Structure 1
Amino acid sequence: MIAETVCSAVSAAGLGIAVVTAYRKRFLAAARIAAYSLVPVGLVMTGIVGWLADTALSPTAWAGFGVLGAAWLLFAGTRAIERRRGGTRAERKAARSGQGGAAVAPTASAPSLGAGSTPAARPAAAPRAGSGEDFSDIEAILKKHGI
């Protein structure tokens, strides 16, 4: 009975604030405040407030909330440990045995060098004599920006 009275008073106060807001020509905000104000009355009319009042005073309900909290803590704790270790036990086992690795060979993404050519067989590039000229445009850009 008290919960229903409090909800009705909150709704009446909210509707009063909505009227004052509408008087100030802020109709969108007034409509939003009115919508929020009608929620407690709707909850009272559907019986949810009575059910919540009965649940709040029930020791069985509080024990159920405790069990749910313990389940959530167990779930969150195991997820945190799993993330720290790097996946589930099956994922770690597959990674150790080589099954969970990349499906493509590691050298598959290396560019093709032509027939019979290997990186070691290429001649080393000799430094060019005019290497200072290669960076002149970069130096000009840096000087332009004051760097």
Structure 2
Amino acid sequence: MLTSTVCAAVSAAGLGIALLTAYRKRFLAATRIAAWSLVPIGLVLTGIVDWVRDVVLKPSVWAGFGVLALSALLFMISRAVERRRGGTREDRRAAAAGRAGAVAPTASAPSLGSGRAGDRTATGGTKAPARDAEDFSDIEAILKKHGI
């Protein structure tokens, strides 16, 4: 009830300002002001103001937002732990089978975050890529070009 009264007052004030602007022969600006001043009363008449008020003032809605935030936090934590461990469960099983001397089953594709799953050797270590020398020579050339 109070929100609809406030919105009606804001609309009335805006229409008054629009009339004063039109009196000064600034019709384009007056039309824009009138359009903006009709928005609050339109929101009241459609019921959007009451819906927003109910969303903001209900504790159960805020509890729902809290639960959603907790869920997102748990997803982020599980993803960070998965990245820290070095891949998915299938990647770890394949690495364990490789360390035990057995033939590891081929994984279809490494997980997006691991990036190191293809570089593991049968002994559990990592092999150095052959392109390291090229990469450093490119970096050295760039640094020399900039005088560093």
| TM-score (structure 1 length as normaliser) | 0.48
